[in-house]
Amino acid sequence: MANTKVSPFACFLLVLLAVSNAAVVLLGRATTSKTFVANGDHFSIGHMIIVTECLKFLVAALLEEHHSYWGLKISIKKHIIENPRDAKKMAIPAFLYFAETSLIFAGLSNLSIPTFQVAFQSKILMTALLSVVMLQRKYTSVQWTCLVTLVFGISLAIAAELFRSGTPDGHWHGFLYGIANVLLAGLAMSFATVYFEKVVKESSNEDEEASPMMLETSQENNLPPASLWMRTMQLSFFSILVAIGRDMFEGSEDNNKSFFHGFTVWVWILTILNALMGVLVAAVIKYADSVLKALATSLSVILSTLLSAVFFGTRLTPTFLFGMLLVVGSVLGFSLHIDGASSRPLWEILMSSPIFGGRSWSSMGERGSQNAEDSLAAPLLVI
């Protein structure tokens, strides 16, 4: 159970997370706007992912060197070279991460920021449903009511924007294309999240069922589970391979341009923010409870909506605003009842996903079977 007393530091982290998340969405929308494309300054999403993951890899390597049990060199030897099978588990989440990021930018380029933010909260419902199917997780009736309210709020907001965008100049097509991309991005993230947790649980069960001889051998090797930062390094490595593979085999106009073509100051800021937000998310997981994390996300939705109205002149109908409030309320309501039937808060599942460089339960060694709030952390992309 999280402490009911909220420290000023935790509040500071949550405000910082909300502001950073809103900034990432605003910059993502700005850098994919028609103005950038019209000026020929559009950057390659794949190239941005490569740069982001390289930065993440370097930060994670630095933290692994100074904060892990072994240090960087020995950790690489023991968790990658001598145990490649475990490292390869990050390949599927890495592919899904690349797909999610590409879909997110496609959605941002066709939707207003408020519409994107509201539609992307569908990831909560998708994660819950996949958790029921793949992990046999159970939720309380109140939680299911919140999920139904979430669906209604998203549908109401999307319908309001759809009818408002229904003009003869083809806005419907772009709007529906953007919504489809955002929903697919949420599905990719949700599946990667639940898949990763399933792999972690199966690995944990295998360790528990291991024979005494195997356990004795493991103790002799004195090999602690992969740390948060080693998992982040593995995820970044496979993400880089996926992005490079896409560039090599797909073939596009971007291949005829310089690697950093279109990397304006704003794109660099967006890239660095994406790379560094993981550390912030990890800190939030450690120092704040699930309700406050949900509050930070809700604050981010509201803040980005207000800033979108200021900087992009976004106009919102009363129906859309009502739908958005339903979404925010359902997110908070769901998190307020996490101590019911669920063994693990959904927001901690989402935040600890491989999309954020999530960390396995077993990464805390013997503490892996204890309260999930003490054994999770999560660096990365939080658009």
CB 271 within 8 A of CB 45: no
Q: Is 341 helix (H, G, I), strand (E, B) or coil?
A: coil
- Report field, pTM of the whole predicted structure over 0.85: no
pLDDT at position 365: 34
- Residue 362 pLDDT class (50, 70, 90 cuts): very low
| Domain-embedded: residue 6 | no
The count of other CB atoms within 10 Å of the CB of residue 209 is: 8
CB 192 within 8 A of CB 351: no
3-state helix, strand, coil in the chain (%, to 5): 75, 0, 25
Mean pLDDT computed over 349-378? 35
What are the C-alpha distances in Å from 284 to residues 217, 344, 377?
A: 36, 16, 8
Report the sign of the C-alpha dihedral through residues 335, 225, 82, 240, in that order: positive
In SS3 terms, 255-300 reads as HHCCCCCCCCHHHHHHHHHHHHHHHHHHHHHHHCCHHHHHHHHHHH
| Domain-embedded: residue 365 | yes
| Domain-embedded: residue 122 | yes
For the stretch 264-273, pLDDT in tens is 899 999 999 9
Residue 380 has pLDDT above 60, yes or no: no
Closest CA relative to residue 112, chosen from 342, 309, 350, 368: 309
CB 114 within 8 A of CB 308: yes
* Cα separation, 7 vs 155, whole angstroms: 37
pLDDT at position 118: 92
Q: Is 24 helix (H, G, I), strand (E, B) or coil?
A: helix
What's the length of the chain? Answer: 383
| Domain-embedded: residue 129 | yes
More confident residue, 155 or 4: 155
CA 353 to chain centre: 7
* DSSP type of residue 182: H
| Domain-embedded: residue 115 | yes
Q: Which domain holds residue 92?
A: 23-139+173-287+346-374
Place of tokens 């704040």: 288
Encoded tokens for 105: 């930018």
* Cα separation, 363 vs 43, whole angstroms: 37
| Domain-embedded: residue 231 | yes
What's the distance, Cα to Cα, between the start and end of the chain in Å? 28
pLDDT at position 358: 40
For the stretch 248-295, pLDDT in tens is 876 655 566 788 888 889 999 999 998 888 667 766 666 666 566 677
| Domain-embedded: residue 92 | yes
The count of other CB atoms within 10 Å of the CB of residue 187 is: 19
| Domain-embedded: residue 356 | yes
Q: What is the mean pLDDT of the chain?
A: 76
* Cα separation, 349 vs 193, whole angstroms: 7
Report the domain count for the chain: 1
For the stretch 320-336, pLDDT in tens is 999 999 998 888 888 77
Closest CA relative to residue 277, chosen from 64, 63, 108, 56: 56
Closest CA relative to residue 36, chosen from 261, 269, 306, 309: 261
Q: Is 32 helix (H, G, I), strand (E, B) or coil?
A: coil
